[in-house]
């Protein structure tokens, strides 16, 4: 992914045109989805199964697409993998 525009306006979010547009739209959608005010309303309404499904999906995507160093640098925001 080549640094998608993270400030894509809502009216420009669309999927299926081409890969760059899909990437930019996904980044913009995830940014909007992760806004604290939206999460504060949405999360309490999720079932236990929905919470587990979201967690499973996100964890699987990180395990599939990030190596250990990237996981720690980008997700946990530390530079050192934890020792086992």
On whether both 40 and 1 belong to a single domain, the answer is yes
On whether both 25 and 41 belong to a single domain, the answer is yes
Q: What is the pLDDT of residue 3?
A: 55
Q: How far apart (Å, rounded) are the C-alpha atoms in residues 5 and 28?
A: 7
On whether both 28 and 51 belong to a single domain, the answer is no
Range of the domain at 64: 47-84
Tokens of residue 5, six digits: 């525009």
Q: Would you say residue 83 has pLDDT above 70?
A: no
Secondary element (H or E) of residue 58: helix 48-65
Q: How do residues 3-28 score in pLDDT, each as one tens digit?
A: 555 578 889 999 999 999 999 999 99
């Amino acid at each position: 992914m080549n640094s998608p525009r993270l400030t894509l306006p809502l009216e420009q979010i669309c999927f299926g045109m081409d890969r760059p547009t899909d990437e930019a739209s996904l980044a913009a959608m995830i940014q909007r989805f992760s806004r604290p005010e939206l999460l504060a309303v949405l999360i309490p309404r999720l079932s236990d199964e929905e919470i587990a499904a979201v967690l499973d999906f996100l964890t699987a995507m990180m395990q599939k697409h990030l190596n250990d160093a990237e996981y720690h640098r980008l997700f946990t925001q530390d530079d050192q993998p934890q020792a086992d």
